[in-house]
Amino acid sequence: VKSIIVGTAGHIDHGKTALVKALTGIDADRLEEEKRRGITIDLGFAHLELSGPGGEPLRFGFVDVPGHERFVRNMLAGVGGIDLVLLVIAADEGIKPQTREHFDICRLLSIQRGITVLTKSDLVDSDTLDVVRLEIGDFLRGSFLENSPIIPVSSLTGTGLEELKHELVLMADTTPSRNSAAITRLPIDRVFTMKGFGTVVTGTLIAGSIRKEDELELFPSHKRARVRGVQVHGTTADRASAGERTALNLAGVEKSELERGMVLASAGLLQTSPRIDVRLSLLPSAKPLKQGTRVHLHALTSEVIATIKLHDAKQLQPGTDAFAELNLSEALPLFPGDRFIIRQFSPVITIGGGVVLDAFPLKKVTKAARSEYLQDLASADPVKVLKARVARRGERGLSFQHAIAETGWREGIITSRLGSMKQEIVRAGDVLLTTAALKSLSSRITSAVRDFQKRNPLVHGIAPETLRESTDVDPRLFEFVVASLVGDKQLEMSNGHLHLPGRRVVMEDDEAESRSTIEQTFASAGLKVPALKDVVVGLKIDKARAQKIVTLLLRDKTLIKVSDDLVFHHSALASLRRQLQIQKAKSPKLDVASFKDLAGVSRKYAIPLLEYLDRERVTRRMGDERVIL
Ligand SMILES: Nc1nc2c(ncn2[C@@H]2O[C@H](COP(=O)(O)OP(=O)(O)O)[C@@H](O)[C@H]2O)c(=O)[nH]1
Ligand SMILES: [Mg+2]
């Protein structure tokens, strides 16, 4: 069933509540005080079913708001989720201050549809009615209601009500459905306990859907709550869909933990931040708005304090708009596209409003870069927005999880939008990357491999982890980029090492042979090593190439330099250490003579070896003796 939320707007006593009652039979003034004083203080709710043009059922949920200036904040909590507004103007009074303020609010919230209802038409003659119509025509010029009907009614006699219902049906037919596929958010407008039910909250479900047994996350407390039961427009239902007046019976939270302004949302998907970037509009009637001004901010059903930081000017002139960052007294679960209203501190009047562009503002960027970025976001073109968000992350990319939290789009929506952006955005596992960033990562990686090869002509390739560390590429992206480079034959992987394609191991046969000769010679010599220069002389290759090989063997610790002219194979030193450990069990002390015996070496080798062991903290010299550590 298509569901349309209708809100009332207008000055106090102009007949809003009477109109809702005349249409639905429901008295939305439910508080005792409201009945006694005859004024609406808080939000009231009613509903009505009508048949659409093709006979299909249409369900109207009415949110009746207070008109008194003192209760505009309650009005604001109700008007956020509405699809269309009934601007109520009493024929005998015409336009009054809250007619203007409520209408400003509707425009700032970007409400797209509505009907102007001239109530109390029974109290005036037709000439007066014509004058009021002219006055209203002027008032609405240039606004979203300019071309909408103005319908005189009387809630007392019933005049005009059928025509009004007819217009409601026509308008409902062209109202786009709200997005059930988006991340679920239910801004709470009422909390109460019901006998036999426990804790109940109500609100207009602005996006997504809620089923019985769903787990929801409560903002700002991040508490989890389980849905025990769902009601839509006062009737038990399996699920509530976007655009429906919804009541939930909750388990897992106490009534005292809930209040108007909190939001129930899909669990685990949202992140909140107290800083938001917005497009801010100042009403023509407001005073110029200075940098750093504190205001009341109303968004969804909540009210917080916001400090305004204008991005490009010191002051915002009435009737103009600008990019700004708002610093909120409490983080709200807002998404781009959400609307808000700002009200002055004193006197408390509506001075402006705007649209959320980003709840994760850029830090440390140039003015020009920020401005360009916010322009892209303000375009509200999903492709442009997604591209800008991914591009902003550069070579780090944008993770899916962040993409969801930043945009409020579910994964499926992002995936389908990516379908049309294959030229511009690639998906690397769980990370989104612009093709430009992929290109620059690829070239950084290939040139790192090239550099490595230049510096290490005798090594056949670089280990992937070494490459990753030296390039500092995000590990999730590194694997993807390397795999695609290997796939494109820009890199090759062999023996677990990466190298440029076609790289033959530069070590020629005689070099490889010399390397193995050197290694073998030292490995089999144990601690009785020959002089390095004697080994080198015996090789087939020239001295320079031999020196390179020795350097390489020293670098990978196959050979270990103990003194200027003594080099040992690492295995010989390792077995010496083992021998010393065994010796330690017998006696921890050792002099040079007993070391010579133990190692089986002459004094020429014993002294440099002991000094090496001291440096390595295997032994410590104490006078003429050594202690084995
Ligand atoms: N004569 C007449 N009185 C009306 C009409 N609609 C409302 N009223 C009266 O106007 C007063 C204010 O109406 P109410 O609906 O409470 O106004 P609200 O403050 O805009 O909700 C009440 O005394 C109503 O009986 C109407 O169409 N004709
Ligand atoms: Mg009322």
Q: What is the pLDDT of residues 564-576, one digit of tens each?
A: 889 999 999 999 9
The answer for residues whose C-beta is within 8 angstroms of residue 223's C-beta and 6 or more apart is 217, 252, 253, 257
Q: Say how far apart CA 437 and CA 433 lie, in whole Å.
A: 6
pLDDT digits (tens, 9 = 90+) for 549-559: 888 888 878 89
What are 568's strand-pairing partners? 560
| Residue 47 · residue 59 · CB < 8 Å | yes
Distance 64 CA to ligand 2 centre (A): 7
User: What would the two tokens of residue 449 be?
Assistant: 């491999």
> Residue 154, exposed/middle/buried by CB under 10 A (0-12, 13-18, 19+)?
buried
User: How long, in residues, is the chain?
Assistant: 629
pLDDT of residue 425: 94
Tokens 């927005």, residue located: 385
Report pTM. 0.77
Q: Is the CB of 119 under 6 A from ligand 1?
A: yes
CB neighbours of 306 closer than 8 A, spacing ≥ 6? 294, 295, 296, 297, 326, 327, 328, 329, 342
pLDDT for 506 beyond 70: no
Q: Residue 245: CB within 6 Å of ligand 1?
A: no
Query: In whole angstroms, what is the distance from residue 45 CA to residue 17 CA?
Result: 10
Question: How does residue 255 score in pLDDT terms, banded at 50, 70 and 90?
Answer: very high
pLDDT at 298: 96
Hey, what long-range contacts does 363-371 have (CB within 8 A, 24 or more apart)?
367/311, 367/312, 370/311, 370/323, 371/311, 371/312, 371/323
- DSSP state string for 461-473: -B-HHHHHHHHT-
Establish whether residue 120 lines the binding site of ligand 1, counting it when its CB lies within 6 angstroms of any ligand atom. yes
**Pairwise CA distance, residues 162 & 200, whole Å:** 35
Bridge partners of residue 8, in order along the sequence: 86
Evaluate the CA torsion angle 262, 264, 266, 267 in order and state its sign.
Answer: positive
| Mutate which of 31, 63, 98, 155 for ligand 1 pocket (most atoms within 8 A of beta carbon) | 155
In this model, does residue 532 exceed pLDDT 90? Answer: no
Shortest CA distance to 297 belongs to which of 338, 342, 333, 358? 342
Q: Are 384 and 376 in contact (CB under 8 A)?
A: yes
Other C-beta atoms lying within 10 Å of the C-beta of residue 551: 12
Whether 184 has a pLDDT exceeding 80, the answer reads yes
Retrieve residue 551's tokens.
Answer: 């350097």
Place of tokens 């002089």: 531
Instruction: Locate 120 and state its tokens.
Output: 């109390």
Considering only residues 425 and 539, tell me which one the structure prediction assigns the higher pLDDT: 425
Q: For the chain, what percent of residues have pLDDT higher than 90? A: 69
User: Using CA positions, which residue lies closest to atom 7 of ligand 1?
Assistant: 15
Q: Which ligand is the nearest neighbour of the Cα of 23?
A: 1
Token pair in block for residue 299 = 């968004």
Distance between CA 623 and CA 615 in Å, rounded? Answer: 16
Closest to 547 measured CA to CA, from 518, 573, 570:
518
CA 542 to chain centre: 62
81 C-beta closer than 6 A to ligand 1: no
> Concatenated DSSP letters for 123-149?
GS-HHHHHHHHHHHHHHHTTSTTTTS-
- Mean pLDDT calculated for residue range 613-624: 91
Does residue 267's CB lie within 6 angstroms of at least one atom of ligand 1?
Answer: no
Is pLDDT of 20 > 90? yes
Adjacent-strand bridge partners of 88: 117
Q: Which ligand is nearest to the CA of 18?
A: 1
Distance between CA atoms of 203 and 516, rounded to whole angstroms? 79
Residue 92 tokens, joined: 């005998």
Distance CA 328, CA 273 (A): 9
Better-scored residue on pLDDT, 69 or 276: 276
CB 209 near ligand 1, within 6 Å = no
Q: Is the pLDDT of residue 38 over 80?
A: yes
DSSP three-state, residue 272 = coil
pLDDT at 623: 85
What lies within 8 Å, CB to CB, of 251 at 6+ separation is 198, 225, 226, 227, 228
Pocket test for ligand 1, best of 11, 119, 153 (most atoms within 8 A of CB): 119
The pLDDT, as a whole number, for residue 508 is: 64
Output the pLDDT for position 605. 92
Give pLDDT, residue 134: 95
3-class state of residue 620 by DSSP = strand
Residues 4, 175: contact at Cβ < 8 Å? yes
Ligand 1 near 99 CB (within 6 A): no
Neighbours of 499 (CB within 10 A): 21
Which of 198-202, 289-293, 300-304, 510-514 is predicted least confidently? 510-514
| SS3 letters across 451-462 | HHHHHCCCCCCE
User: Using 50, 70 and 90 to split pLDDT, how confident is the model at 156?
Assistant: very high
Show Cβ contacts of residue 579 under 8 Å, excluding neighbours closer than 6 positions: 598, 599
Q: What's the CA-to-centroid distance between 418 and ligand 1, angstroms?
A: 53
Query: Which ligand minimizes its atom distance to the CA of 66?
Result: 2
Q: With CA atoms as reference, report the closest residue to 522 among 510, 538, 511, 506.
A: 538
Residue type, 389: R
Q: What percent of the chain has pLDDT over 70?
A: 99
Q: What is the pLDDT of residues 336-371, one digit of tens each?
A: 999 999 999 988 999 999 999 999 888 888 889 999
Q: ω into residue 220 within 30 of 0, thus cis?
A: yes
Point out the least confidently predicted range of 133-147, 434-448, 464-478.
Answer: 464-478
CA 431 to each of CA 336, 393, 401, 470: distance values in angstroms, whole numbers, following the listed order = 21, 10, 9, 21
Q: What is the pLDDT of residues 463-484, one digit of tens each?
A: 898 899 999 998 889 999 999 9
pLDDT reading at 507 higher than 70: no
Q: Quote the CA–CA distance of 593 and 598 in Å, as a whole number.
A: 9
